[in-house]
Protein backbone atom coordinates (compact mmCIF):
# COMPACT_ATOMS: atom_id res chain seq x y z
CA UNK A 1 0.00 0.00 0.00
CA UNK A 2 2.73 2.46 0.97
CA UNK A 3 4.45 2.02 -2.38
CA UNK A 4 1.29 2.75 -4.37
CA UNK A 5 0.74 6.06 -2.62
CA UNK A 6 4.40 7.11 -2.40
CA UNK A 7 4.84 6.75 -6.15
CA UNK A 8 1.84 9.02 -6.79
CA UNK A 9 3.41 11.98 -5.00
CA UNK A 10 7.03 11.52 -6.10
CA UNK A 11 7.25 12.09 -9.83
CA UNK A 12 10.14 10.59 -11.75
CA UNK A 13 10.61 8.85 -15.05
CA UNK A 14 10.79 5.28 -13.73
CA UNK A 15 8.25 5.63 -10.95
CA UNK A 16 5.90 2.94 -12.24
CA UNK A 17 8.80 0.57 -12.80
CA UNK A 18 10.07 1.10 -9.25
CA UNK A 19 6.59 0.48 -7.88
CA UNK A 20 6.24 -2.77 -9.82
CA UNK A 21 9.69 -3.97 -8.76
CA UNK A 22 8.90 -3.33 -5.11
CA UNK A 23 5.55 -5.13 -5.42
CA UNK A 24 7.37 -8.08 -6.99
CA UNK A 25 9.90 -8.02 -4.11
CA UNK A 26 12.79 -7.31 -6.48
CA UNK A 27 14.32 -4.78 -4.14
CA UNK A 28 17.87 -4.69 -5.55
CA UNK A 29 16.49 -3.89 -8.99
CA UNK A 30 14.20 -1.26 -7.48
CA UNK A 31 17.22 0.45 -5.91
CA UNK A 32 19.05 0.34 -9.23
CA UNK A 33 16.08 1.84 -11.07
CA UNK A 34 15.82 4.51 -8.41
CA UNK A 35 19.50 5.35 -8.74
CA UNK A 36 19.23 5.81 -12.51
CA UNK A 37 15.98 7.82 -12.45
CA UNK A 38 15.65 11.51 -13.13
CA UNK A 39 14.01 13.27 -10.20
CA UNK A 40 13.11 16.96 -9.94
CA UNK A 41 15.87 19.29 -8.81
CA UNK A 42 15.61 20.59 -5.26
CA UNK A 43 13.91 17.99 -3.12
CA UNK A 44 15.31 15.07 -5.15
CA UNK A 45 17.58 13.79 -2.38
CA UNK A 46 14.76 13.81 0.15
CA UNK A 47 12.44 11.96 -2.21
CA UNK A 48 15.10 9.34 -2.94
CA UNK A 49 15.69 8.91 0.79
CA UNK A 50 11.99 8.33 1.46
CA UNK A 51 11.70 5.80 -1.33
CA UNK A 52 14.77 4.01 0.01
CA UNK A 53 13.06 3.93 3.40
CA UNK A 54 10.00 2.37 1.75
CA UNK A 55 12.21 -0.35 0.28
CA UNK A 56 13.84 -0.94 3.67
CA UNK A 57 10.40 -1.40 5.22
CA UNK A 58 9.49 -3.91 2.53
CA UNK A 59 12.67 -5.79 3.50
CA UNK A 60 11.63 -5.61 7.18
CA UNK A 61 14.65 -3.46 8.03
CA UNK A 62 12.51 -1.25 10.23
CA UNK A 63 15.25 0.27 12.38
CA UNK A 64 17.25 1.36 9.33
CA UNK A 65 14.11 2.77 7.73
CA UNK A 66 13.31 4.76 10.88
CA UNK A 67 16.85 6.18 11.01
CA UNK A 68 16.62 7.27 7.39
CA UNK A 69 13.23 8.90 7.90
CA UNK A 70 14.38 10.67 11.06
CA UNK A 71 17.37 12.06 9.21
CA UNK A 72 15.17 13.25 6.34
CA UNK A 73 12.34 14.84 8.33
CA UNK A 74 14.11 18.14 9.16
CA UNK A 75 14.59 18.80 5.45
CA UNK A 76 10.96 18.22 4.43
CA UNK A 77 9.17 19.93 7.30
CA UNK A 78 7.99 22.78 5.05
CA UNK A 79 6.78 20.45 2.31
CA UNK A 80 3.37 19.14 3.43
CA UNK A 81 3.39 16.25 0.98
CA UNK A 82 6.85 14.92 1.79
CA UNK A 83 6.34 15.60 5.50
CA UNK A 84 3.12 13.56 5.46
CA UNK A 85 4.86 10.76 3.58
CA UNK A 86 7.85 10.81 5.94
CA UNK A 87 5.64 10.56 9.03
CA UNK A 88 3.64 7.76 7.44
CA UNK A 89 6.79 5.80 6.56
CA UNK A 90 8.03 6.39 10.10
CA UNK A 91 4.74 5.14 11.54
CA UNK A 92 5.02 1.88 9.62
CA UNK A 93 8.65 1.46 10.70
CA UNK A 94 7.65 1.99 14.33
CA UNK A 95 4.83 -0.53 13.97
CA UNK A 96 7.36 -3.01 12.59
CA UNK A 97 9.43 -2.44 15.73
CA UNK A 98 6.29 -3.19 17.80
CA UNK A 99 6.07 0.39 19.03
CA UNK A 100 2.41 0.67 18.14
CA UNK A 101 1.60 3.63 20.41
CA UNK A 102 4.39 5.67 18.81
CA UNK A 103 3.24 4.49 15.39
CA UNK A 104 -0.28 5.77 16.01
CA UNK A 105 1.12 9.15 17.06
CA UNK A 106 3.25 9.41 13.92
CA UNK A 107 0.25 8.39 11.84
CA UNK A 108 -1.78 11.19 13.40
CA UNK A 109 0.98 13.64 12.44
CA UNK A 110 0.94 12.27 8.90
CA UNK A 111 -2.83 12.67 8.72
CA UNK A 112 -2.54 16.25 9.95
CA UNK A 113 -0.03 17.06 7.21
CA UNK A 114 -2.17 15.29 4.60
CA UNK A 115 -5.06 17.68 5.23
CA UNK A 116 -3.26 20.08 2.93
CA UNK A 117 -4.67 19.98 -0.63
CA UNK A 118 -1.15 19.38 -1.91
CA UNK A 119 -0.88 16.19 0.14
CA UNK A 120 -4.45 14.98 -0.30
CA UNK A 121 -3.31 12.06 -2.47
CA UNK A 122 -1.92 10.43 0.67
CA UNK A 123 -5.05 10.80 2.81
CA UNK A 124 -6.69 7.46 2.04
CA UNK A 125 -3.50 5.47 2.54
CA UNK A 126 -2.73 7.15 5.84
CA UNK A 127 -6.27 6.59 7.08
CA UNK A 128 -6.04 2.91 6.16
CA UNK A 129 -2.76 2.56 8.03
CA UNK A 130 -4.12 4.45 11.03
CA UNK A 131 -7.22 2.24 11.09
CA UNK A 132 -5.15 -0.95 11.16
CA UNK A 133 -2.95 0.44 13.92
CA UNK A 134 -6.03 1.33 15.97
CA UNK A 135 -7.32 -2.22 15.66
CA UNK A 136 -3.93 -3.68 16.61
CA UNK A 137 -4.15 -1.69 19.85
CA UNK A 138 -7.68 -2.89 20.53
CA UNK A 139 -9.20 0.45 19.50
CA UNK A 140 -11.75 -1.25 17.28
CA UNK A 141 -14.29 1.56 17.20
CA UNK A 142 -11.71 4.14 16.13
CA UNK A 143 -10.27 1.75 13.57
CA UNK A 144 -13.67 1.01 12.06
CA UNK A 145 -14.50 4.72 11.88
CA UNK A 146 -11.24 5.52 10.09
CA UNK A 147 -11.72 2.63 7.69
CA UNK A 148 -15.16 3.99 6.83
CA UNK A 149 -13.70 7.47 6.34
CA UNK A 150 -11.07 6.05 4.00
CA UNK A 151 -13.83 4.38 1.99
CA UNK A 152 -15.71 7.66 1.70
CA UNK A 153 -12.62 9.57 0.56
CA UNK A 154 -11.36 6.94 -1.89
CA UNK A 155 -11.89 7.82 -5.54
CA UNK A 156 -8.94 6.51 -7.57
CA UNK A 157 -8.65 2.77 -8.29
CA UNK A 158 -5.63 2.21 -6.04
CA UNK A 159 -7.34 4.16 -3.24
CA UNK A 160 -10.53 2.13 -3.59
CA UNK A 161 -8.57 -1.13 -3.63
CA UNK A 162 -6.67 -0.45 -0.42
CA UNK A 163 -9.67 1.06 1.37
CA UNK A 164 -11.82 -1.99 0.66
CA UNK A 165 -8.96 -4.37 1.50
CA UNK A 166 -8.35 -2.74 4.88
CA UNK A 167 -12.09 -2.64 5.61
CA UNK A 168 -12.27 -6.35 4.83
CA UNK A 169 -9.43 -7.06 7.23
CA UNK A 170 -10.84 -4.92 10.01
CA UNK A 171 -14.35 -6.33 9.79
CA UNK A 172 -13.03 -9.90 9.51
CA UNK A 173 -13.84 -10.81 13.09
CA UNK A 174 -16.45 -8.13 13.78
CA UNK A 175 -18.78 -8.78 10.86
CA UNK A 176 -17.84 -11.63 8.50
CA UNK A 177 -20.50 -10.73 5.95
CA UNK A 178 -19.37 -7.13 5.73
CA UNK A 179 -15.75 -8.29 5.51
CA UNK A 180 -16.56 -10.57 2.61
CA UNK A 181 -18.34 -7.73 0.81
CA UNK A 182 -15.32 -5.42 1.04
CA UNK A 183 -12.86 -8.16 0.13
CA UNK A 184 -14.93 -8.96 -2.94
CA UNK A 185 -14.77 -5.33 -4.05
CA UNK A 186 -11.03 -5.34 -3.42
CA UNK A 187 -10.77 -8.47 -5.56
CA UNK A 188 -12.53 -6.66 -8.40
CA UNK A 189 -9.99 -3.84 -8.12
CA UNK A 190 -6.91 -6.07 -7.83
CA UNK A 191 -5.14 -5.42 -11.14
CA UNK A 192 -1.87 -7.23 -10.36
CA UNK A 193 -1.04 -10.72 -9.07
CA UNK A 194 0.50 -9.13 -5.98
CA UNK A 195 -2.74 -7.35 -5.15
CA UNK A 196 -4.80 -10.45 -5.79
CA UNK A 197 -2.55 -12.31 -3.36
CA UNK A 198 -3.27 -9.68 -0.69
CA UNK A 199 -7.01 -10.16 -1.14
CA UNK A 200 -6.85 -13.94 -1.17
CA UNK A 201 -4.65 -14.02 1.93
CA UNK A 202 -6.06 -11.40 4.31
CA UNK A 203 -4.27 -10.97 7.62
CA UNK A 204 -7.53 -11.48 9.47
CA UNK A 205 -9.67 -14.37 8.34
CA UNK A 206 -13.41 -13.94 8.83
CA UNK A 207 -14.66 -16.17 11.60
CA UNK A 208 -18.02 -17.94 11.29
CA UNK A 209 -20.95 -16.49 13.16
CA UNK A 210 -22.32 -19.33 15.24
CA UNK A 211 -25.35 -17.60 16.75
CA UNK A 212 -27.34 -16.68 13.66
CA UNK A 213 -29.52 -19.77 13.84
CA UNK A 214 -31.39 -18.27 16.81
CA UNK A 215 -32.08 -14.92 15.16
CA UNK A 216 -34.89 -13.64 13.02
CA UNK A 217 -33.99 -13.21 9.38
CA UNK A 218 -34.52 -10.18 7.17
CA UNK A 219 -33.47 -9.94 3.56
CA UNK A 220 -33.67 -6.67 1.63
CA UNK A 221 -34.31 -6.98 -2.10
CA UNK A 222 -33.46 -4.01 -4.33
CA UNK A 223 -32.70 -5.66 -7.65
CA UNK A 224 -35.59 -5.72 -10.11
CA UNK A 225 -38.13 -4.53 -7.56
CA UNK A 226 -38.05 -3.56 -3.90
CA UNK A 227 -39.26 -5.84 -1.15
CA UNK A 228 -38.31 -7.30 2.21
CA UNK A 229 -38.38 -10.90 3.34
CA UNK A 230 -39.13 -10.93 7.06
CA UNK A 231 -38.72 -14.40 8.52
CA UNK A 232 -39.71 -15.85 5.16
CA UNK A 233 -42.72 -13.58 4.56
CA UNK A 234 -42.45 -11.22 1.59
CA UNK A 235 -43.34 -7.57 2.24
CA UNK A 236 -43.56 -5.22 -0.73
CA UNK A 237 -41.60 -1.97 -0.46
CA UNK A 238 -42.71 -0.55 -3.80
CA UNK A 239 -44.45 2.32 -2.06
CA UNK A 240 -41.43 3.14 0.10
CA UNK A 241 -38.39 2.03 -1.92
CA UNK A 242 -35.92 4.34 -0.21
CA UNK A 243 -36.78 2.77 3.14
CA UNK A 244 -35.52 -0.52 1.70
CA UNK A 245 -32.47 1.31 0.35
CA UNK A 246 -31.77 2.63 3.85
CA UNK A 247 -31.78 -0.92 5.22
CA UNK A 248 -29.50 -2.16 2.44
CA UNK A 249 -27.11 0.69 3.17
CA UNK A 250 -27.08 -0.09 6.90
CA UNK A 251 -26.32 -3.73 6.17
CA UNK A 252 -23.00 -2.52 4.76
CA UNK A 253 -22.49 0.60 6.89
CA UNK A 254 -24.02 -0.10 10.27
CA UNK A 255 -23.67 2.59 12.91
CA UNK A 256 -23.50 5.58 10.54
CA UNK A 257 -24.59 9.07 11.48
CA UNK A 258 -27.86 10.35 10.06
CA UNK A 259 -25.99 13.19 8.35
CA UNK A 260 -23.68 10.76 6.53
CA UNK A 261 -26.56 8.46 5.61
CA UNK A 262 -28.40 11.43 4.11
CA UNK A 263 -25.36 12.26 1.97
CA UNK A 264 -25.15 8.68 0.71
CA UNK A 265 -28.70 7.47 0.09
CA UNK A 266 -30.65 10.62 -0.80
CA UNK A 267 -30.55 12.16 -4.27
CA UNK A 268 -28.52 15.37 -4.58
CA UNK A 269 -30.36 18.47 -3.38
CA UNK A 270 -31.61 20.59 -6.26
CA UNK A 271 -33.58 23.29 -4.46
CA UNK A 272 -31.71 26.41 -3.36
CA UNK A 273 -31.67 26.47 0.43
CA UNK A 274 -29.40 27.58 3.21
CA UNK A 275 -26.90 24.95 4.34
CA UNK A 276 -28.61 24.56 7.72
CA UNK A 277 -32.04 24.23 6.13
CA UNK A 278 -30.78 21.65 3.64
CA UNK A 279 -29.16 19.55 6.39
CA UNK A 280 -32.29 19.72 8.51
CA UNK A 281 -34.55 18.68 5.63
CA UNK A 282 -32.30 15.78 4.64
CA UNK A 283 -32.05 14.52 8.21
CA UNK A 284 -35.85 14.64 8.45
CA UNK A 285 -36.14 12.59 5.27
CA UNK A 286 -33.80 9.94 6.65
CA UNK A 287 -35.89 9.75 9.82
CA UNK A 288 -38.99 9.39 7.66
CA UNK A 289 -37.40 6.46 5.82
CA UNK A 290 -36.36 5.03 9.19
CA UNK A 291 -39.97 5.00 10.39
CA UNK A 292 -41.11 3.49 7.09
CA UNK A 293 -38.55 0.71 7.35
CA UNK A 294 -39.65 -0.13 10.88
CA UNK A 295 -43.27 -0.34 9.71
CA UNK A 296 -42.30 -2.63 6.85
CA UNK A 297 -40.63 -4.99 9.31
CA UNK A 298 -43.32 -4.61 11.94
CA UNK A 299 -40.83 -4.07 14.75
CA UNK A 300 -39.98 -0.62 16.11
CA UNK A 301 -36.73 -1.97 17.55
CA UNK A 302 -35.52 -3.43 14.25
CA UNK A 303 -33.50 -0.29 13.52
CA UNK A 304 -32.03 1.61 16.46
CA UNK A 305 -31.63 5.39 16.47
CA UNK A 306 -29.51 6.84 19.24
CA UNK A 307 -27.21 9.82 19.46
CA UNK A 308 -27.88 10.79 15.87
CA UNK A 309 -26.72 7.40 14.56
CA UNK A 310 -28.57 4.41 13.12
CA UNK A 311 -27.77 0.74 13.39
CA UNK A 312 -29.57 -2.52 12.78
CA UNK A 313 -31.09 -4.50 15.61
CA UNK A 314 -29.00 -7.49 16.64
CA UNK A 315 -32.07 -9.66 17.05
CA UNK A 316 -32.05 -10.24 13.29
CA UNK A 317 -29.71 -11.72 10.73
CA UNK A 318 -29.59 -9.17 7.91
CA UNK A 319 -28.89 -9.78 4.24
CA UNK A 320 -29.47 -7.99 0.93
CA UNK A 321 -29.58 -9.19 -2.65
CA UNK A 322 -27.38 -6.21 -3.54
CA UNK A 323 -24.59 -7.45 -1.29
CA UNK A 324 -24.91 -10.97 -2.68
CA UNK A 325 -24.79 -9.65 -6.25
CA UNK A 326 -21.63 -7.67 -5.51
CA UNK A 327 -19.98 -10.70 -3.95
CA UNK A 328 -20.99 -12.86 -6.90
CA UNK A 329 -19.72 -10.31 -9.41
CA UNK A 330 -23.22 -9.93 -10.87
CA UNK A 331 -23.98 -6.31 -10.03
CA UNK A 332 -23.68 -3.80 -12.87
CA UNK A 333 -25.96 -0.99 -11.71
CA UNK A 334 -28.78 -1.25 -14.21
CA UNK A 335 -30.65 -3.79 -12.07
CA UNK A 336 -31.73 -1.07 -9.63
CA UNK A 337 -34.58 1.32 -10.31
CA UNK A 338 -33.49 4.83 -11.38
CA UNK A 339 -35.81 6.09 -8.66
CA UNK A 340 -33.20 4.98 -6.13
CA UNK A 341 -30.34 6.96 -7.67
CA UNK A 342 -27.97 8.18 -4.96
CA UNK A 343 -24.24 8.78 -4.38
CA UNK A 344 -23.77 5.41 -2.64
CA UNK A 345 -25.07 3.37 -5.58
CA UNK A 346 -23.27 5.58 -8.10
CA UNK A 347 -19.96 5.03 -6.34
CA UNK A 348 -20.58 1.29 -6.07
CA UNK A 349 -21.37 1.09 -9.78
CA UNK A 350 -18.28 3.17 -10.58
CA UNK A 351 -16.05 0.93 -8.46
CA UNK A 352 -17.22 -2.26 -10.09
CA UNK A 353 -17.30 -0.64 -13.52
CA UNK A 354 -13.62 0.29 -13.22
CA UNK A 355 -12.79 -3.28 -12.28
CA UNK A 356 -14.65 -4.69 -15.28
CA UNK A 357 -12.53 -2.55 -17.61
CA UNK A 358 -9.18 -3.13 -15.99
CA UNK A 359 -6.31 -4.07 -18.31
- 139 shares a domain with 240: no
Q: Which residue segment(s) compose the domain that 285 sits in? A: 212-356
Indicate the residue among 120, 153, 186 that finishes a domain: 153
DSSP assignment string, 188-227: HH--SHHHHHHHHS-SSPPPP-SSGGGSEEEEEE-BTS-E
Q: Domain total for the chain?
A: 2
Domain co-membership, 103 together with 227: no
CA distance linking residue 17 with residue 73, whole number of Å: 26
Task: Provide the CATH number for the domain around residue 116.
Answer: 1.25.40.10
Q: Is the pLDDT of residue 202 over 70?
A: no
pLDDT range class, residue 138, cuts 50, 70, 90 = confident
pLDDT value for 210: 31
Domain assignment present for 281: yes
Identify which has the larger pLDDT, 251 or 25: 251
Q: Quick one: pLDDT at residue 357? A: 44
pLDDT band at 229 (very low <50, low <70, confident <90, very high): very high
On whether residue 188 sits in a domain, the answer given is no
Please check the confidence at residue 358 and state whether its pLDDT lies above 70.
no
Residue 194 lies in a domain: no
Residue finishing a domain among 115, 134, 153: 153
| 3-class state of residue 254 by DSSP | coil
pLDDT of residue 106: 95
Are 17 and 135 contained in the same domain?
A: yes
Burial class (CB in 10 A: 0-12, 13-18, 19+), 307: exposed
Residues 230/196, Cβ–Cβ less than 8 Å: no
pLDDT on residue 205? 35
Q: Is residue 141 part of a domain?
A: yes
- Section 311-320 average pLDDT: 88
Residue with the bigger pLDDT between 26 and 211: it is 26
How far apart (Å, rounded) are the C-alpha atoms in residues 205 and 8? 30
Q: Say what the pLDDT of residue 267 is.
A: 87
Residues 41, 141 within the same domain: yes
Exposed / middle / buried, residue 283 (Cβ in 10 Å: 0-12, 13-18, 19+)? middle
Question: Averaged over 314-319, what is the pLDDT?
Answer: 88
Q: Which residue has the higher pLDDT, 271 or 145?
A: 145
Please give the Cα distance from 320 to 88 (Å, whole number).
37
Claim to verify: residue 242 and residue 345 sit in the same structural domain: yes
Task: Kindly report which listed range (23-32, 219-228, 234-243, 268-277) carries the lowest average pLDDT score.
Answer: 268-277
Is 175 part of a structural domain of the chain? no
Among residues of the chain, what percentage have pLDDT more than 70? Answer: 82
Calculate the alpha carbon distances from 149 to 50, 111, 126, 128, 183 in Å.
26, 12, 11, 9, 17
Are 37 and 115 within one domain? yes
Kindly state whether residues 263 and 332 are assigned to the same domain.
Answer: yes
pLDDT of residue 178: 81
Is residue 193 included in any domain, yes or no?
Answer: no
Average pLDDT over residues 53-81: 89
Residue where a domain stops, chosen among 137, 153, 169:
153
Average pLDDT, whole number, for the chain?
A: 81
- Cβ atoms of 305 and 312 within 8 Å: the answer is no
Assess whether 22 and 136 both reside in one domain. yes
In a domain, 201, yes or no: no
Which range is most confident: 170-184, 262-276, 342-356? 170-184
83, part of any domain:
yes
Least Cα distance to 256 among 247, 269, 268 occurs for 247
Same domain, 25 and 149: yes
Specify whether the CB–CB gap between 253 and 320 falls below 8 A.
no
Per-residue confidence band for 185, with pLDDT thresholds at 50, 70 and 90 = confident
Q: What is the pLDDT of residue 83?
A: 92
Quick check: 294 and 314 in contact, CB under 8 A?
no
Amino acid sequence: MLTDFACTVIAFDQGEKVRELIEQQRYAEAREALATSSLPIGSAQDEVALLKAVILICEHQFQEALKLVSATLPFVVLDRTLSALAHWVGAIALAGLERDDDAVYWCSLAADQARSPAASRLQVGILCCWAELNVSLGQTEQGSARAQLALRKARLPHELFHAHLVAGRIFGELDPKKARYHLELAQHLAVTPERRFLVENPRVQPSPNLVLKDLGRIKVNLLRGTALEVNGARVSANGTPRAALLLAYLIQNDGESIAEIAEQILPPETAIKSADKARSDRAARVRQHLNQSRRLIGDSSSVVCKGGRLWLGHQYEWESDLRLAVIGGKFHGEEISPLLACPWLEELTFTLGRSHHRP
